[in-house]
Amino acid sequence: MEDITTLDNRLSIEKSSPGRRALKFKGRLKHSAPPIPENLRRKTAPRLAELSEFDVVRHFTRLSKINFSLDSHFYPLGSCTMKYNPRVNEDIAALDGFTGLHPMAPDEAAQGTLECLYNLQTLLCELCGMEAITLQPAAGAHGEFAGLMAAKAYFAHKNQKDRVEVIVPDSAHGTNPASAAMLGFSSINIDSGPDGRVDLEVLKRHLGPKTAVVMLTIPNTLGIFESGIETISKMVHEAGALVYMDGANFNAMIGMIKPGELGVDIMHLNMHKTFSTPHGGGGPGAGAIAVKKYLDAYLPVPVIKKEGNRYCADFNRPLSIGKVKAFFGNTGVLLKAYAYLLMHSPRELGEISENAIINANYAKALLKDYYPSHSKDHCMHECVLAPSPEMMAKEITTLDVAKRLLDYGFHAPTIYFPHIAHEAIMIEPTETETRETVEEFASAMKKISAEALNNPQKLKDAPQTMPVKRLDEVQAARQPNLRW
């Protein structure tokens, strides 16, 4: 039996009707050029939907409504920093003066945008305690790649080409080893200590003349601050290597701790995390790489400079690694981050991390009897929990809890990450959620825990209230259907 919602589930191409049209272009400029030669002409029109404008508006509006979003739901996604995306940022980035600027416009036509970018560079450098920065990478992973590339160029320039290893703790984001591998580094995975912190003895064993970079996430992916960072940095530097900080968790440090003072040599920042730009269903983000002076020369081009009262994009950097994308970076995203920073004094930025940390610890405290934490310590901006042994005895997995949460109107936390924590449930409320939201979330989590013990099938059958039930991912991967 086909129900109404199935009919409503049609693809745009299935709503298509030949000859139906939305947008038209009526202006035709005259010229006497010959038509396109036969060998270059497209023979068959692409199979795209033919719809009226109303069809299109309704189709996509409907799709927008069968989707969670931050505006409508709490996303306690650890490591993702799903904080409120201020609307004023959107207004600002949409100003014609900004959006209409061509990337090849000469500097004299781009002074407004260049000034914003220059100021953003300065602000971010100061917040990180770093000395140079590039805003070119389009995302965090793109920044990791460019940052490691700069490290590689630095060692090549110093004639230390045999530094070919990147040490990555097992708690790291998957992008870390993937970025290292892309650059031809061999990534050395080191086991963390029981609290998720770097085990100094293990690190020591692996550090040596082949080490180029040690990549650390601070706070780490268990939400724990790397308390021994000073010693770690010292060890790494004594071995002649560099400390790279994955800044994905900078929301726990902004306005409160300067990574540069911890001994970090290179770090990336994600504008779409700490700096409040929206995730857009998976992007666009923007990355920035901040470095110490001695790495400045290797950053990708262009870097925005100020000469007198004039701002310019500097391409003339002979030691630069080059470009990691065409043109400048994701300017539209960077402008939002700049507007966000303009609205905060250093003290107000510190309040961001303070409230992020309080909210995470509050969630952890409310849930401590139901979902034990991986770590005894207080956490920073996120905590890693797991279903209780009683729940697991009923064969309830983290996935079941996550799916049931959807029925309660909460997006699931990050699950099964970090890999080192068994059945991980990683919760990051961010500073923009109120205590009431955290309490409502905790209360749903507690109800789910009770359900798990009394009626575990309810969790196995979850979600019940979503547009679809659990989906057949095995089928999707075995016989991929990736297009109409």
Partner 1 sequence: MFIGNTKKDREEMLKTIGVNSFKDLVKQVPEKFLYPEFKLPQEGLDEMQTASAMRELAARNKQLKSFVGAGAYERYIPAALKALLSRGEFLTAYTPYQPEASQGILQTIYEYQSSMAALYEMDYGNASMYDGASSFAEAVRSAVRITGRKKVLIAQSVHPQYLQTLKTYFPPGEDYKFVQIPHKDGCLDLEKLEGLLDRETACAALQSPNFFGLAEDFSKVSALTKAKGALFVAAADPVSLALFTAPGAQGADFAVGEGQGLGLPLNYGGPYLGIFTCKKEYLRQMPGRLAGMTKDKNGKRGFVLTLQAREQHIRRDKASSNICSNEALCALGATIYLALLGPGGLKELAQANFDAAHAAAERLCSIKGVSLKFKGPFFNEFTLALPCAAKELRSRLIEKENIDPGLPLKDFYPELGETLLVCATETKTEKDIARLEKAVREATA
Partner 2 sequence: MPKPEEARYTKTHEWIALEGDQSLVGVSDHAQHEMGDVVFVELPKMNQKLEKDKPCTVVESVKSAFDIYAPVAGEVSAVNAAVTGDPAIINQSPLEKGWLFKMKAANPEDLKTLMDWNAYQEFIKQGVH
Q: Which residues ranging from 260 to 319 are in contact with partner 1 (CB under 8 A)?
A: 261-262, 270, 272, 276, 278-286, 300
> By CB under 8 A, how many residues form the interface with partner 1?
208
Q: Minimum Å distance from CB 393 to partner 1?
A: 25
Q: Give whichever of 173 and 374 is closer to partner 1, judged by the CB atom.
A: 173
Contact between 193 and partner 1 (CB under 8 A)? no
CB atoms within 10 A of CB 276: 24
Q: Minimum Å distance from CB 88 to partner 1?
A: 5
Window 391-430: residues binding partner 2 (CB under 8 A)? 416
Task: Write out the two tokens for 404.
Answer: 């049931």
In DSSP terms, which residues pair with 213 in a beta bridge?
166, 242
d(CA 264, CA 261): 7
Contact between 474 and partner 2 (CB under 8 A)? yes
Q: Give whichever of 390 and 484 is closer to partner 1, judged by the CB atom.
A: 484
Amino acid making up residue 140: G
Amino acid making up residue 484: W
Q: Which stretch binds partner 2 (CB under 8 A): 139-147, 149-157, 217-225, 471-479?
A: 471-479
* DSSP state letter for 134: E
User: Can you tell me which of 104, 477, 482, 483 binds partner 2, judged by CB under 8 A?
Assistant: 477
Q: Give whichever of 261 and 390 is closer to partner 1, judged by the CB atom.
A: 261
Distances (CA, A) of 361 to 290, 383, 465: 29, 7, 30
Contact between 471 and partner 2 (CB under 8 A)? no
Contact between 468 and partner 2 (CB under 8 A)? no
User: Can you tell me which of 207, 290, 383, 412 binds partner 1, judged by CB under 8 A?
Assistant: 412
Say if CB 82 and CB 28 are below 8 A apart.
no
On the 0-12 / 13-18 / 19+ scale of CB atoms within 10 A, 65 is exposed
Q: Give whichever of 393 and 483 is closer to partner 1, judged by the CB atom.
A: 483
CB atoms within 10 A of CB 157: 12
Q: Which stretch binds partner 1 (CB under 8 A): 19-27, 203-211, 233-241, 446-454?
A: 19-27
What, of partner 1, partner 2, none, does residue 95 touch, CB below 5 to 8 Å by kind? partner 1
Distance of CA 152 to the CA centre of its chain: 24
Radius of gyration of the chain (CA): 25
Q: Give whichever of 46 and 389 is closer to partner 1, judged by the CB atom.
A: 46
Which residue's entry shows tokens 């699931």?
Answer: 412
Would you tell me the crossing angle of helices 331-342 and 111-128 to the nearest 10 degrees?
60
Ranges of H-type helices in 129-199:
140-157, 175-182
Contact between 478 and partner 2 (CB under 8 A)? yes
Q: Minimum Å distance from CB 270 to partner 1?
A: 8
Q: Give whichever of 174 and 467 is closer to partner 2, judged by the CB atom.
A: 174
Distance of CA 326 to the CA centre of its chain: 21
User: Can you tell me which of 120, 130, 132, 139 binds partner 1, judged by CB under 8 A?
Assistant: 139
Say if CB 297 and CB 151 are below 8 A apart.
no
Q: Minimum Å distance from CB 438 to partner 1?
A: 8
Contact between 473 and partner 2 (CB under 8 A)? yes
User: Can you tell me which of 193, 208, 209, 467 binds partner 1, judged by CB under 8 A?
Assistant: 467
User: Can you tell me which of 76, 133, 151, 152 binds partner 1, judged by CB under 8 A?
Assistant: 152
Contact between 238 and partner 2 (CB under 8 A)? no
132-134 vs 165-169, strand pairing mode: unpaired
CB atoms within 10 A of CB 192: 20
Q: Which stretch binds partner 1 (CB under 8 A): 203-211, 332-340, 390-398, 448-456?
A: 332-340
User: Can you tell me which of 130, 132, 167, 183 binds partner 1, judged by CB under 8 A?
Assistant: 183
Q: Give whichever of 33 and 477 is closer to partner 2, judged by the CB atom.
A: 477
> By CB under 8 A, how many residues form the interface with partner 2?
5
Q: Minimum Å distance from CB 138 to partner 2?
A: 26
* CA nearest neighbour of 417 among 252, 202, 173: 173
Q: Is 189 left (phi over 0), alpha (psi -120 to 50) or beta?
A: beta
d(CA 151, CA 173): 19
